Structure 1
Amino acid sequence: MKQLRPLWVLLILVSMSAWALDTEHIEKERLALFFAHDDRVNIPAPYAAPYNAIGRLEVKSGGTCTATLIAPDLAVTAAHCFLMIPRKIDAGRWFMAGFHDGKYQARYQVISQTFHPKFRKGLSYKGDDVYIDPAVAPYDIALLKLKLKDGVAPQPMSVFKGNRQQLMQTILRQKQQINQAGFAEDHDTILSAHLGCQLTQLRSNGTIFHRCDTLSGDSGSPIWIDLRTASMSGPTLIAVQSSAPDWFNRQQADNVGVTVLNLPTKPVK
C-alpha cells in the first residue's frame, strides 16, 4: 500500500521548494550585477591606509552609504544618499572611518552636506528605489563637513587634481584599471573591495562607466587609482560610486561613477 505523507511534511516540502527557487533567483540577480562573477575581497581589520579613510555614513533616518575622508574635516560621498526620502533632505548624522563590525577607528559628526541643487529635480521614486535622470547624473556627488568626536583620525585619501584631459591620460596610463571599496548591503558591517576592476568610459559630463562589483550600500564609495608620478603618489580618489542598472538591464549598461571633477563648491539651498 502506498504510504500517504502527512500534510505538514507536504507543507515543508513546498516551503523548501519555494525557498530554493527564491534563492536561485537572488543568486541570478547577484551574478548579473557582478558581471557574472563576484570578484570582491573582504578587507581584514584593523584597516591600514587607504582603507581606514573609508567609512560608513549614517543619515538621520538610519540609512547608510559609504564615504571617504579627503581632509581632516571633509569627506566625499554620493548626493543621493541624502535624498532617499521623497521631498526631504535626510541629513547626515555620523561618519565612522575604518568601520568594522560595529567598531570604528574614528567617529565624526556630520555638520553639513553640500551638493548641487539641480540634482534633486532629476530624481524619481518607485517603491524603495530612487532613479536618477541622466541629465542630473553628473551632480550625484556631495561634500561632508565633519567634526571629529572620538577615535584616532586616519590619513585622508588624496584627491586627483587636474582637468579632464589630465585625468584621461592618467587613466590610460593605468590601463583603465581602478579600485573600489565599500559597505555593500550583503555584509554591510565589513569593508569589501574590488581591486583592479575596469573603467570602461570617461564621459564628457564628468561621469564614468565602470565594471566594479557593487551593491546597495556601496553608494558614495571611493573609486581610486594607485598613482606613481612626479607630482602625486599613492592611492588617489578619482570618483565615487553613483548608480547601477537593474540586474535585468545589465547587458545594456555598466555602473556609473561621478568624478571629483564635479565636486560641488556651493552649499545646497
Structure 2
Amino acid sequence: MRRGGPVLAVLAAFALALPAAADGLRRLTDRDDLLGWEAVGRLDLDGKGFCTGTLIAPDLVLTAAHCVYDRRTNALRPADRIVFRAGLRDGVAIAERSGLQIAAHPGYNPALPPNTDNIRHDVALVRLEQPITSRDADPFAIHSGGNAGTEISVTSYGVGRAEALSRQRVCTLLGQRDEVMAFDCNVTFGSSGAPVFARVGGRGRILSLVSAGGNVNGRKVGFGMALPKRIAELKAQLRRDPVAAPDRRIIRLKPGTGRDNTGARFIRPGGG
C-alpha cells in the first residue's frame, strides 16, 4: 500500500467526519478459520515483496495495478516471477500457481504517486499458468448491484502479519466520489490489492480493492476504487492479447536422453 501527500487531498474531498474505530483484525490461524477464504492469497512478487490477491475465476487473480509494476523501473514485472499462494497460512498454501499473463489498467500510471485518477485505475488481473479448481478455492464474485451500504469487511496480508490472512469483520465505507472510495479498514503495506467486501447475500462480494492509505487525526484511512467497469476493461485486454499456457503434457524420455529440470522455485517473501 502506498502512502503520500496527494492521497490526503482525496480524503479532504470527502469532507468526512470519522466514526468510532472499527473492529480489530482476527488472524485466520486454523484450517476451519480459513474455510471460505481460500480464494484470498498472498501474491509474491519476484522475491521483492508481496501484495494480496483474490481469485475471481479459476485462473484469474484480482489485485492492485501498482503491485505488478517494478517500483524502480516502472516496468511490468515478468508474469512468471509472480506467484499466487492461495490461502497461505504459516508456510502452507491451499494451492500455488505462477503467473502467465498480466493485464494492468492502462489508466494507471506507475510513475505517479497516489491521486484520484491513479486510485480509480489501480486494478490489475494476473492470469495463472494453471487454474485452481473451485474444489480447492472458490472464486469470489464482484459486487455489481446498487447500494452496498456502509458496513464492509476486509481480508488481507500485511507487514507484521505476512504468514496468514487476517480478517476484519466490520469496518466502514466512509464515502465514495468519482469512483474512488474511502474506508476505515485496518490495512498496511502488503495489504495492497486486498479485497474489500460488501456484506450482501450469503457470501461477501468484492466491492473494492485496497489501493492506498493515509492518516487523518491519528486514524488510518484506506482508499479503493469501483470495480465492475475496470474489470470488464481488463478482461477485454486479456482477450485481445492472448498468451498460450505452456504444454504440460508428459514427455517420456528415452534412456540416455537426460532429464529436464522441473524443480519448483520458491520465492522468499518480503514486506511490500
TM-score, normalising length: structure 2: 0.70
2:143 partner letter:
F
Q: Could you say which residue in structure 2 is the equivalent of 1:185?
A: 159
Aligned CA distance change for structure 1 residues 115 and 243 (closer, same or farther; 3 Å) = same
Query: Deviating runs (4+, > 4 A) in structure 1?
Result: 35-38, 149-152, 249-253
1:165-197 CA-to-partner distances (Å, cap 9, x unmatched) read: x2xx2x23xxx1101011110120111111110
Task: Give the number of the structure whose alpha-carbon radius of gyration is greater.
Answer: 1
Structure 1: tracts of 5 or more residues without a match: 1-34, 125-130
Asked if 1:132 is matched to 2:114, the reply is yes
Matches within 5 A, 1:208-223: 208-223=181-196
2:209 partner letter:
V
Aligned CA distance change for structure 1 residues 250 and 256 (closer, same or farther; 3 Å) = farther
Find the residue that maps to 2:170 and give its secondary structure. strand
Q: Could you say which residue in structure 2 is the equivalent of 1:4?
A: none
Identical pairs, percent: 23
2:48 partner letter:
G
Report how far residue 149 of structure 1 moved.
Answer: 7.4
Q: Could you say which residue in structure 1 is the equivalent of 2:197?
A: 224
Whether contact under 8 Å (1:177, 1:196) holds in the other structure is yes
Aligned CA distance change for structure 1 residues 250 and 59 (closer, same or farther; 3 Å) = farther
CA distance in 1 between counterparts of 2:43 and 2:188 reads: 15
1:73-121 CA-to-partner distances (Å, cap 9, x unmatched) read: 1110000002223332223421011101111001122111112223126
1:54 partner letter:
V
Q: Could you say which residue in structure 2 is the equivalent of 1:141?
A: 123
Whether contact under 8 Å (1:50, 1:157) holds in the other structure is no
Matches within 5 A, 1:102-121: 102-120=91-109
TM-score, normalising length: structure 1: 0.70
Find the residue that maps to 2:199 and give its secondary structure. strand
Aligned-pair Cα RMSD in Å: 2.7
Matches within 5 A, 1:30-179: 39-46=24-31, 47-83=33-69, 84-92=71-79, 93-120=82-109, 123-124=111-112, 131-148=113-130, 153-162=136-145, 166=146, 169=147, 171-172=148-149, 176-179=150-153
1:91 partner letter:
P
Structure 2: tracts of 5 or more residues without a match: 1-19, 242-272
Q: Could you say which residue in structure 2 is the equivalent of 1:195?
A: 169
Whether contact under 8 Å (2:58, 2:131) holds in the other structure is no
Matches within 5 A, 1:12-31: none
Aligned CA distance change for structure 1 residues 103 and 149 (closer, same or farther; 3 Å) = farther
Q: Which has the higher helix share?
A: 1
CA distance in 1 between counterparts of 2:217 and 2:48 reads: 29
CA distance in 1 between counterparts of 2:143 and 2:22 reads: 30
Relative contact order higher in (CA < 8 Å, ≥ 6 apart): 2
Whether contact under 8 Å (1:107, 1:148) holds in the other structure is no
CA distance in 2 between counterparts of 1:150 and 1:256 reads: 29
Whether contact under 8 Å (2:23, 2:171) holds in the other structure is no
Aligned CA distance change for structure 1 residues 217 and 225 (closer, same or farther; 3 Å) = same
CA distance in 2 between counterparts of 1:103 and 1:203 reads: 39
Whether contact under 8 Å (2:180, 2:225) holds in the other structure is yes
The count of aligned residue pairs is: 212
Whether contact under 8 Å (1:105, 1:153) holds in the other structure is yes
CA distance in 2 between counterparts of 1:252 and 1:234 reads: 29
Q: Could you say which residue in structure 2 is the equivalent of 1:260?
A: 227
